[in-house]
Amino acid sequence: MRKIYLVGFMGCGKSVIGRRLSYFLKLPYYDMDREIVRQQGMTIPEIFEKYGEEYFRKVETDFLRNFRDEACIISTGGGVAVNEENRKIMRKTGLVFYLDATFEDIYKRIKNDKNRPIVQKSSKSELEQLYFQRRKFYRAVGHIRVLTENRSKRQIVEYIGFQV
Ligand code: S3P
């Protein structure tokens, strides 16, 4: 079995669903941001502040290029699908699920998050713009789109779990 990637905007539930899916499918789970934080020895806001977003994007691509060849579940960062090479790697090495949530649901979850530099520097309407700009990339990379609105975590996990 190949990798299972979860993609989508910040706050769409990738990490929570990833962890639960890992129990459901009995596969190891990796949170890409967390792996990067461990590798770099810095938090995401520190990486952005010290080296800038462009550096962070390179680290994301390196991660995807080099991550171990193993059947597992990976929740990706919300910006990963924007890069074409990243999209190619994910589609080639795994099955990609796009977790599609409404902007209002997302905004409620992320608005006070200090650990997300993009949220820190953006207004609500800027975030909403980014959300709409990025949808085409999530759609392009996702093999399967998962509508999360009004669905419980359990329903989402089962929906994904029974398709792999
Ligand atoms: C980002 C999303 C974050 C993290 C970083 C940048 C983005 O991941 O990678 O703060 O550009 O959307 P989550 O989607 O897990 O919040």
Domains parsed from the chain with CATH numbers: 3-161 (3.40.50.300)
* Dist CA 28 CA 74 (whole Å): 9
Q: Give this complex's ipTM.
A: 0.98
**What does the pLDDT look like over 123-137, one tens digit per residue?**
999 999 999 999 999
Token readout for 92 is: 């080639």
pLDDT per residue, tens digit, the chain (164 aa), is: 689 999 999 999 999 999 999 999 999 999 999 999 999 999 999 999 999 999 999 999 999 999 999 999 999 999 999 999 999 999 999 999 999 999 999 999 999 999 999 999 999 999 999 999 999 999 999 999 999 999 999 999 999 999 99
**What does the pLDDT look like over 10-27, one tens digit per residue?**
999 999 999 999 999 999
pLDDT at site 1: 64
**Which residues form ligand 1's pocket by a CB distance below 6 Å?**
10, 14, 33, 44, 77-79, 116-118
Spatial contact of 6 and 76, defined as CB atoms under 8 Å apart: yes
Q: Which residues contact 70 (CB under 8 A, 6 or more apart)?
A: 3, 28
C-alpha 32 to ligand 1 mean position (Å): 10
Residue of the nearest CA to atom 10 in ligand 1? 116
Angle at 41 between CA 38 and CA 42, to 5 degrees: 105
Spatial contact of 159 and 24, defined as CB atoms under 8 Å apart: no
Mean pLDDT of the chain, nearest integer: 97
